[in-house]
Structure 1
Amino acid sequence: MRDWRKFELLIAAIEKTLLPLGAEIKSPDHLPDLVTGQKREVDASIRFKVGSTPILITVECRKRDSPQDVTWIEQLATKKESIGASTTVAVSSEGFTKAAEELAGRKGIQTRILTETTGSDAAKWVSEIQIALDLLQWRFVKIQANFDAGPGLDEALTFINGNIDKDDMNRPGFRGGPLG
């Protein structure tokens, strides 16, 4: 695998760890141009919804030997508009020229430099951390039954008491016992 593709996959993996719950990332992706209908390749796409509004973020990467200039930012700004992306993240291994940074800010393109990114930088990109938990085991913590006196109460209590697992009553944390 080529170094530039490894770089793209690394960036996609980093972005994936920062995604909100329900967001999806695809690398690479091919998106339709809104004018020509032709497919345009992006290094990665991120899709999710805010309320009922779909959001598309594209990620473009460059692993080159020098800082990226305004030419690349101009290309990304045009592509962003052509495919209807909400924003584009430009990631460079060697940074950006000052003019490229200024233009990116005006065109709604976020810039990232992988070699200069720290954990605290990444934390700033995340407004909320969500944790998904799969429930692997459950148990009753408390069962309470209240019965009104009446016909059949004695038979009901006898049935319930006969079906309480006696081993459960001896386990730590079990409070209570036979009803009656």
Structure 2
Amino acid sequence: MTLAKSSKDLEQLVTRIHMLIEPAGAKITWNKKIRDPDTDQLRQIDGMIEREGKKTHIECRRHKPPQDVKWIEELIGRRASLGADGVIAVSTSGFTGPAESKAEARGIILRTFSEMTDAEIQAWGKSAKLTTKYIDIEKLKVTVFIDATCMNRISSQPQISVYETNIPPLIGILQEFTNHFGDKFFYDRSSNLTATIHYPGLLVDGVPVRHCETMLRAKLRQDSADVIGVWNYGGVEPTSQDDTTVSKHDFGSTEIIQKDDHASMILDLSSITPPRNCYLHSWEVDFGRIVRAWIEPLGMPPPTNFAFDMMLDVRAVQV
């Protein structure tokens, strides 16, 4: 897995890092458009930090060779031309010696994503552990009730669906269980739960369902995600919790940014394929210490990622 799949990904990642590490009151903008004072044309900046009346531009490079002095000179000229107070140059491949010397002499701040080895991650112990919890279904029975006059329309192998949607109805039914019985599931023993559910638009063989009774026997299980790579934002290996790190996990685009006791997490739920007869219950992140975390989930697993075994019974209601 690469740090960022594209230049756009890198720019957004760096912007999110600065949203986390900059002090309160700072405004951080990705893909900022500013007007050139000489030409009156709009110019694009990868990122901008605005704080206390000062503007710092962020420029990113995702190239294989280390960035040379030519790019630093371009940034020096751009800072003067666009009236920036500071410039942060971010490279995924580091900088050449002359580039570092020029940047130090002219006040260009350099940042490099330095990849850590597995041994360094273990020795440092700061990488987060991501755990997903599932409702592991042992038995699922759904009894639907319809008008008695419609029983002749039910086949020998009835199918339930939801009106004008392709969403599997079991997803909605299990969501109801999660909302109402989320604290009734345990790891060491099974729970037997029953609920009457009124599901708008629920059909069985095209016949409207008045209500359904669902019986579920299940317990909790969990899976942990392995850390694919941890990158330090700064160019040297982390020496304290003041350093900023980015963890990439094997759940799609999931990333975790940490600095001191603050953390920011983007969790790509859409990449998760639960085991058969398992429904995603929740997730948790162990940072190894107490942190103030901001978590943004990116969607739920698509319906096609779920597979359940179910017993279905159809009963008549006299009206």
Q: CA deviation at 1:85?
A: 1.1
Counterpart of 2:16? 13
TM-score, length-normalised on structure 2? 0.36
Moved over 3 A (4+): 118-122
> d(CA) in 2 for partners of 1:122 and 1:28?
29
1:11-44, Cα deviation, whole Å (9 max, x unpaired): 1111110111111111110122233222221100
In the alignment, what sits opposite 1:165?
A: none
Query: Which deviates more from structure 2 when the two are superposed, residues 113-122 or residues 93-102?
Result: 113-122
In the alignment, residue 47 of structure 2 is paired with which amino acid? A
Matching of residues 151-170 of structure 1 within 5 Å: none
Matched, 1:87 2:94: no
Deviation at 1:90, TM superposition (A): 0.2
Compute the displacement of 1:119 (Å): 4.9
Structure with more contact order per residue of length (Cα contacts < 8 Å, sep ≥ 6)? 2
Distance 1:121 1:10, change over 3 A: farther
Higher share in strand: 2
CA gap 1:37/1:106 in 2 versus in 1, 3 angstroms: farther
Q: Tell me, what secondary structure is at the counterpart of 1:43?
A: strand
SS at match of 1:27: strand
State the TM-score, normalized to the length of structure 1.
0.62
SS in 2 for 1:123: coil
CA distance in 1, matches of 2:80, 2:99: 18
Which residue pairs with 1:61 in the alignment? 60
- Of residues 72-81 and 113-122 in structure 1, the stretch that sits farther from structure 2 once superposed is 113-122
Whichever residue aligns with residue 102 of structure 1, its letter is: S
RMSD: 2.7
CA deviation after TM superposition for structure 1 residue 94, in Å: 0.3
Q: Which letter maps to 1:4?
A: S
Pair 1:25 & 2:28 matched: yes
How far apart are residue 115 of structure 1 and its match?
A: 2.1
1:123 counterpart (236, 242, 258): 242
CA distance in 1, matches of 2:85, 2:241: 20
Change (3 A) 1:25 1:109: same
Q: In the aligned structure 1, how far is the partner of 2:240 from the partner of 2:40?
A: 37
Whichever residue aligns with residue 123 of structure 1, its letter is D
Secondary structure of the structure 2 residue equivalent to 1:115: strand
Q: Which residue of 1 aligns with 2:73?
A: 74
State the shift of 1:124 in Å. Answer: 6.3
Q: Which has the higher helix share?
A: 1
How many residues were matched structurally?
125
2: CA distance, partners of 1:57 / 1:123: 21
Which residue of structure 1 lines up, in the alignment, with residue 43 of structure 2? 40
The match for 1:111 is 110
Change (3 A) 1:108 1:96: same
Partner amino acid for 2:16?
Answer: A
Secondary structure of 1:61 counterpart = strand
Question: Residues 32, 104 of structure 1: CA spacing in aligned structure 2 closer, same or farther, 3 A cutoff?
Answer: same
Report sequence identity in percent. 33
Runs (5+) with no aligned partner, structure 1: 131-180
Deviations 1:34-70 (A, max 9, x none): 3322222110001011xxxx10011000011110001
Flag the structure with larger Rg.
Answer: 1
- Aligned counterpart, 2:140: none
Opposite residue 26 of structure 1, the aligned amino acid is T
Partner of 1:147: none
Deviation of 1:2 after TM superposition, in Å, equals 5.7
